Structure 1
Amino acid sequence: MLVVGLGLPYELQVVFDDVGRVDILVAGCLVLEADSREAHEGWEPHIKDRGRDLALAKQGLASLRPAYQHTMKQPDLVRDAIWGLVTQQQAFILR
């Protein structure tokens, strides 16, 4: 798992009000979702996910939904994106 390699704390299958269950909560500030093609055929699932992202943002959480292809073929890109979002979120909190 990419998050383990970064040494960041994480929780699996966390439930949030107005959102439901998310795949991974990283460092208490970033929701990482692993979306599959099967669960996201058509436009409606994308609209639902964007609504979930907005509900997470309302609660002060960032969300990231890398495609399977990015995770498998460009793991450094995904890892750097996770690191960038977490460090920026934490820097903002510390201000």
Structure 2
Amino acid sequence: MTDAATNALSRVPVEITISVGRAHPTVSELLSLKRDAVLPLDRGVDDPVELYAGDRLIARGHLQEVEGEADRLAVRLTEVIDPEGGT
């Protein structure tokens, strides 16, 4: 790849999805969900979250507030996954 192509590619935005956990309701429970329902997840509050680019796990971390902006969330990375298969 040429330097120009690499430079152009490096500016393409990538959407990252943060996964805080999974829920496993039955179909009946899912159909009966209403506003203010609570859906338990398979993780605890202090468990790490997972960061995905597409369907590829790229990192893990912990949720925290954005410094100076109490109403916004951020992720502090604790592990970055090696794209070659290691961590």
Larger strand fraction of residues: 2
TM-score (norm 2): 0.27
More helix by share: 1
- Bigger RCO (CA 8 Å, 6+ sep): 1
Q: TM-score, normalising length from structure 1?
A: 0.25
Structure 1 or 2, whichever has the larger Rg, is 2
